[in-house]
Structure 1
Amino acid sequence: MLQSSAVSGRVIVVTGAGGPAGRAVVRRLAADGARVVAADVRPQHWDGPNVFPAVIDLLDADGTRAWADGVAAEHGAVDGLIHLVGGWRGAESFADTDLADWALLHDLLIRTLQHATLAFHQRLRRSPRGGSRSCRSPPRGVPPRATPCTPPPRRRPRRGRWRWPTRCPAPPRPRRSSSSRPC
């Protein structure tokens, strides 16, 4: 097993760990030497000494703060938060989307992200290597490199080492043609 110095020994919380992306992220981080707190709303079974399962409802702000306190007490620090909670049901077309789906999406994406980041914010700031990411899976038909928070190609693994991205890529800046002038 190759351990990356970028994540080895770090305590990283992964929310939404029970989904396909969450399971893959947890396995990779644990294999690279991180101590991973794998959180989901439903109990999950994990193999390996570096994975610490947690059941948490991130829609409960007070419960999320209490859980974050417990994670910090048990592990001594929190160096990273990766938020992978989501759940879009979709529709045949955008116009066919039920408004109840938007309410669900608001809770699953916005509220859970708000509660988790507020609960871990000060701990991440205190960590000399702290940071957080909230990423999503690409929609069908979109290449994976085109999703937000995907590291740019220069951060791809070299010689088998996984590198922790330092920031999401900035969106491209619009070009101004010589004929366009501000109003």
Structure 2
Amino acid sequence: MTDGKHLPPEAMEQLFTAARTHNGWIDKEVPDDLLELAVDYAKWGPTSANCSPLRIVFVRTPEAKQRLAPAMSQGNLEKTMAAPATAIVAYDLDFHEHLPFLYPATDARSWFAGNETLIEETAVRNGTLQGGYFILALRAVGLDAGPMSGFDRAKVDAEFFAGTRVKSNFLINIGYGDSAKLYPRGPRFAFEDIAKII
């Protein structure tokens, strides 16, 4: 925050220290407006040259869940089918085509045109960053999240992104978590195991 104010402890708990990765869900529908609000918050996180490659498909209906099911690993199938919504968090390899609008200060599109290695590297890095922002945004609007890999990306891409340059990255089950189904919380490293100030 520009005025240097620290968020109150309860906000930090909701976003970080008390938030959990959920595997079970209570039977409560997730309103569309909360999903839209979470996307609207997440889009403000920084990306290089404001490239904004994040793309999301919310899988909610029984029909859409059946389309997703064949791509799921056995360990993730049941909880995904039970979740009120599942977000396919993806990135667009054509993100640079939007740079004249997103980053008009200079001809940023020319940095990427024809350079597939740079396009993919930039899309994956920034799309993953935006996926992280999206998890925090979900928590901020009062939803619980269960991010995961453990799925066949090629099957998801063929089913949901055929004919495009959008590629799946990871999935997030979304809803109101059932705390009775949480695993014991895993430990975290201490500051000195993660970082140093030099």
Give me the TM-score of the superposition, normalised by structure 1: 0.28
Higher relative contact order (CA 8 A, sep 6+): 2
